[in-house]
Amino acid sequence: MGFTSPFFICIETMMLENLLESTLAGMGYELVDVEQLSHGKLIRVYVDKEGGISIDDCVTISNHLSRLLAVEDIDYDRLEVSSPGLDRPLKKENDFLRFIGETVKLKLRVPLQGQRNFIGVLREVNDGILKLEVEGKLFDLDMHNIGKARLVPKL
């Protein structure tokens, strides 16, 4: 009988994320995000690389990961591989460093000055603190307080 508590699901997800991250890095790709939906039956993987992701990249990654997940005995019904899109999520400190000077949309876990949602230009990242310029005003945001962050697409 398998474990289904949130604690064990979280550990499973972390193990899958670590496995995918090291595998994709070895292939020259960056793991942006991984989602497990429908009780782990759907695995959705978002990848990126310098210059962007093509359909051929998605096919190559999908074929490789299908074999890897079979070898690792990870149970799933469907695997989806995709680019992160124009509104790419930012999760790791390196993501924020890479996109300094870009406009980002953030949602904080705990409000700052009564505000949880911010849209501004990412100015600096240092020791887990983001400097975000919003309408000429600079905010210092603790990365641990960021619930969601995405690039604002340039159209």
Which H or E element spans position 128? none
Residues 6+ apart with CB under 8 A from 93: 125, 128, 143
pLDDT (tens digit per residue) in 29-72: 999 999 988 776 999 999 999 889 999 999 999 999 999 999 99
Q: Which of 40, 41, 43, 44 is closest to 8 using CA atoms?
A: 40
pTM, 2 dp: 0.80
Average pLDDT value for the chain = 90
Q: What is the pLDDT of residue 10?
A: 63
Classified by CATH at the fold level, domain 93-151 comes out as: SH3 type barrels. (2.30.30)
In the chain, where are the structural domains located? 6-82, 93-151
Predicted confidence at residue 2, as pLDDT, reads 46
Q: What is the pLDDT of residue 11?
A: 66
**pLDDT above 70 for 126:** yes
CATH T-level fold of 6-82? GMP Synthetase; Chain A, domain 3 (3.30.300)
